[in-house]
Amino acid sequence: MAIYKSDGVDAVNLFPSKFITVYCTSAVTVGDVVELDFSATRSTDQTVDAFGISVKKAAATDNLPFACGVATATLTAAGYVQIQYAGFCKSVTPDAAIAVGLPVGTDAGTAGRVQAFTGNVSATTGFFGVVVDAYVTGAGTNDGAIFLIDKGFFNA
């Protein structure tokens, strides 16, 4: 479970980000939001898989508190996938237009998408990023970017 960071050393000065390869229990597509998976299907290999932490495509539920990153590759079935869990991310798809500066959470309408976060952070809701380049066109169009918040799930 190696952590990859782009932090200026590799000529990516303005867009720091963090990536990790984790076990994913579901099919995902590039740009899908993922959430932690605590189900029985998660990886049990704690020596390799971050103490058994696995991810899955985020369900179509408002603002899931365990949303933790974005898939950087496509899987057609369970397996290992690289996710981005912090930093500038341009591959996420929104459910509607979202203005710069708004926090984003998971979308209730479509699994794996983001929506503007509304309400309060609680045990059952949360946001995982902030829009840094507006999503102008709206549903299903990836024309913006978010800054993913490192929630500390994957730090060594």
pLDDT per residue as tens digits for the range 10-36 = 555 567 788 988 889 999 999 999 999
**Amino acid, res. 54:** S
How much is the pLDDT for 31? 93
What ranges do the domains of the chain cover?
3-148
Residue 1 has pLDDT above 50, yes or no: no
Per-residue pLDDT, averaged over 54-83, amounts to: 93
Half-sphere exposure of 81 (CA within 13 A, CB side): 30
Longest Cα separation, the chain: 44
Return phi, psi of residue 101, to 5°: 95, -10
